Amino acid sequence: PCRSFHGKNRLLTSQIVSYYEPINKCKKELPEYFNFASDVLDEWARLEKDGRKPTNPAFWWVNDEGEEVKWSFEELGSLSRKAANVLSGACGLQRGDRVIAVLPRVPEWWLLNVACMRAGIVLIPGTSQLTAKDISYRLQASKAKCIITSDTMAPAVESVLPGSQSLKSKLLVGQGSRDGWLNFKELL
């Protein structure tokens, strides 16, 4: 059994294919600039707000203990704009700058993905299984200007920071605080 979040208004595969078929045959004009956050998520939020699309969760996360985080399209849009402001404001990042995120798959991981899309920042995702050597290599190879990590991964990140010349800011996702780190939740 499967649940349908779209009810009777669910798009059929044939409808989705028929929409993209003209694009594939170069018969539909593509936008010069496309931003998933503003062109898709914000549009869906507007359609829900106008009553032209049923309200559905844009994001629904459940952890092993059963805790849930559920955001509507409007909430995801608003939170991602705030997160993009944190990245561009407090972290001093600009369009095209690179960010490394070494996080477990917590809600902030997805939020930061959307925020980076919105702000034109290049996100380099990293698993929480990375070693200090892995993190050091990624920092050097990418020339990332910001690193985002959790309380538990911060010590491994800090151990390799002296070798990273391009890094300008460090963002911590979690409840704790560390010297020299910005706290994402406080800034959000």
CATH of the domain at 64: 3.40.50.980
Total domain count, the chain: 1
Whole-model pTM: value is 0.81
**Could you report the per-residue pLDDT of 168-187, keeping only the tens digit for each?**
999 999 888 899 999 999 99
**Could you report the per-residue pLDDT of 15-61, keeping only the tens digit for each?**
555 656 666 676 666 677 888 898 889 999 999 889 888 888 999 99
More confident residue, 96 or 3: 96
Can you tell me the distance from the alpha carbon of 131 to that of 133, in angstroms, rounded to the nearest whole number? Answer: 5
Is 122 inside any structural domain? yes
Is 9 inside any structural domain? no
Express as a percent the part of the chain with pLDDT over 90: 64
**Could you report the per-residue pLDDT of 53-112, keeping only the tens digit for each?**
888 899 999 999 999 999 999 999 999 999 999 999 999 999 999 999 999 989 999 999
Is 18 inside any structural domain? no
Domain span holding position 116: 36-183
